[in-house]
Structure 1
């Protein structure tokens, strides 16, 4: 059985890790930011804790934890879909939707007690979001400059 202190540790850890990813989204003014990521991570963590603490009857659980896990994944999919926008032939918000999805996975890992996996994943997500954003911006600006120069030569 999970002790109160262990449950508190898992919930607080979910808040911290979800906030870490959400902070990056907030800095860049994305549709789902700091609070949203914290709430998704915290909710996924709590649902996972609940799914593992249902009473057992011998070797059989009264409730199948995988059903709750699949419900979390499906529910978060709907949240992520709300972050995706279609504007003038372009799609925006896919990265935010993906970050919501992975934050739910971090919350589930934290709720199940897989701390190392949750921490490493959160750090990797933040690295991917920050570093790749800088690289993308650099190459997009470089491409647009080259395009402008080429247009200038044609005139």
Structure 2
């Protein structure tokens, strides 16, 4: 079971997601933005794992009936985008009559 998780078709996308999100998060950390390295790595890794689960679930559910399995990775991708949008919406702060948010600007 553990050896199945170390297959290159699962390991390379995970490593790629960690590296790509670490680069983006490191740049955000360098510029002292609210969402930094840890946040980006966690979001990137969780998105990667969810999409891998969506794409490979037919192989993992091989003993289930074919009529029961409904695979639609696009719906999972849509859910991930909705969740990230919800998280980004929480970055906008209201202070009195001014609103701070994206790029830390006052409006």
Bin for the TM-score computed over the shorter chain: 0.7 to 0.9
Q: TM-score, normalised by structure 1?
A: 0.52
Q: Report the CA distance between 1:36 and its aligned residue.
A: 0.3
Distance 1:8-1:95 versus aligned 2 partners, 3 A rule: farther
Cα deviation, 1:6-44, whole Å, max 9, x if unaligned, reads 211110110110011111111121111001011111111
Structure 1: gaps spanning 5 or more residues: 97-155
Could you say which structure has the greater relative contact order, defined with CA pairs below 8 angstroms and 6 or more residues apart? Answer: 1
Q: Report the CA distance between 1:89 and its aligned residue.
A: 3.9
What do you get for the CA RMSD once the two structures are aligned? Answer: 2.5
* 1:92 and 2:100 are equivalent in the alignment: yes
- Number of paired residues? 93
Structure 1 or 2: more helix by fraction: 1
Structure 1: distance between partners of 2:33 and 2:44: 17
Query: What does residue range 26-65 of structure 1 map to in structure 2 within 5 Å?
Result: 26-55=29-58, 57=66, 62-65=70-73
